[in-house]
Amino acid sequence: MTRYVIVGNSAGGIGAAETIRAADPDGPVTILSDESYPAYSRPAISEFLAGERTFGERMLFRDADFYKRLRIECVLATRVARVHVKERAVELSDGRCIPYDRLLLSTGGTPIIPRMEGLDLRGVHPFTTMDHAKGVHESLSGGKNRVVVIGAGLIGCSMVNGLLHRGDVQVTLVELKDRVLSTMVDAYASGMVEKRLREMGVSLRTGRSATKILPRPDDAASVGGVMLDNGELVACDVVGMAVGVTPRAELAREAGIKCNRGILVDAHMETSAPGVFACGDVAEVQDFIYGVPRVTAIWPTAYVGGRVAGANMAGAPTRYDGCTAMNAFSYFNMALTSAGMFDPDPALGHPVITLEKPGAYRKFVLRDHKLIGFILVEEIEQSGVFFNLLRHQTDVRPFEKRLADWGFTMAALPKDVRADWIGGPGYALPAKKRAAAEPACEKVSR
């Protein structure tokens, strides 16, 4: 009987557990997590901060009976100290060892905290977990309402959105790059987001970095302001650290498993250590647009990677043809998606199609008559159609001119193109295993 151990209780770990149980109804499955919560939707912590959700049914990634129903032992609030590859066991921080036959590392990422004075002051918070969101909420109690968010990427914008929905909160957003969301959209779309932020009362400091966090004059233990590299002092009560995340690959590195920025995996999501797999924000998976392994730290990719890993762990050979980044958000009362190589170097000469109208924007990047990247701002209903064109590397010549039409829908595609999408590139369990797995696999929610 195969023993399965999964380190990580988020999208990748849950995807793996579901698929393992569908393929192997008897093998013991243990999930280990250093958080104290059952699996929840991490993107929803912005809504928790906003007061729009409580931690309950609306934030849980799976229902309350999930672990019991699938006969999964879930060990919470427990840290894995090291992996013993030769002995096939994981050692917990309390000294206990749990043996495995197949191990999945789905440890996610850890917030990047730039070194600066004042990080130990009360009121400084990252923003990637439920505990982080609770910490920010608690720091804002008692009438404190001035917040500086350092980092204007997806995490920083998520935090700002939650703060704005609270009501009387003054937000200053500081970004080292010259524009917001620089890794998610191009300069034009960034400008649209910045315009909306200013309309909502956010003070922007782009092209600036924080050099130190200063205490309150009347309370040396609490945040009182942030000093910027140009000498400006921004007074505040709370600081959000949203510079980015880095893969939590320490367990793998210390165990001698091959890593680059993240843990290196093959097309079966297996690492250099036999029987050890990795997925999610900690793994480097082949990017089918850029043609190299990359860390793609997005929720749906983690879930699908977990399913591929779980299938292979359970003895159902399954390949993953790779992924590429697709980001989406609906913050600041605007909707936005982007995918692939949406802002290439002009020297590459890739054809670009853009559409603009008041409040909306579309951009498509082509290579050899195939879509390799896109941005949609507002009117994003066709995101899935465009991503399928990109995912399947469909030759768009028969309908290339239609891409410049705001009314483009799936109906504009030739029938043979739509037929090719069924069972095309991506990941799939073998037919018998897939039929058993489907009921357990719900739509991934952002």
CATH number at residue 256: 3.50.50.60
161 and 220 part of one domain? yes
235 and 258 part of one domain? no
Contact yes or no for 279/265 (Cβ under 8 A): yes
CATH number at residue 369: 3.30.390.30
> What integer pLDDT is reported at residue 416 of this predicted model?
83
Tell me, yes or no, whether 442 lies in a domain. Answer: no
Residue 97: name the closest of 112, 84, 86 by CA. 84
Last residue of a domain, one of 291, 323, 355: 323
128 and 106 part of one domain? no
105 and 144 part of one domain? no
Last residue of a domain, one of 189, 213, 243: 243
> What integer pLDDT is reported at residue 322 of this predicted model?
87
* Cα 140–chain centre separation: 26
Tell me, yes or no, whether 115 lies in a domain. Answer: no
> What integer pLDDT is reported at residue 57 of this predicted model?
64
Question: Taking the chain (446 residues) in consecutive chunks of 10 residues, what is each chunk's mean pLDDT?
Answer: 96 97 96 96 92 82 93 96 97 96 97 95 96 94 88 96 92 97 96 97 97 96 97 97 96 97 96 97 94 89 95 96 90 95 93 94 96 96 93 92 89 81 50 37 31
Rounded Cα gap, residues 403 and 369, in angstroms: 12
Tell me, yes or no, whether 65 lies in a domain. Answer: yes
Tokens representing 367 are 């290579």
> What integer pLDDT is reported at residue 55 of this predicted model?
82
Contact yes or no for 260/249 (Cβ under 8 A): no
**Number of other residues whose CB lies within 10 A of the CB of residue 69:** 12
Write the CB contacts of 319 (distance below 8 Å, at least 6 apart in sequence): 267, 268, 308, 427
Domain count, the chain: 3
For residue 374, what are the domain limits? Answer: 335-420
Tell me, yes or no, whether 409 lies in a domain. Answer: yes
Strand order in the sheet with 210-216: 210-216, 219-228, 233-235
Rounded Cα gap, residues 141 and 325, in angstroms: 37
190 and 286 part of one domain? no
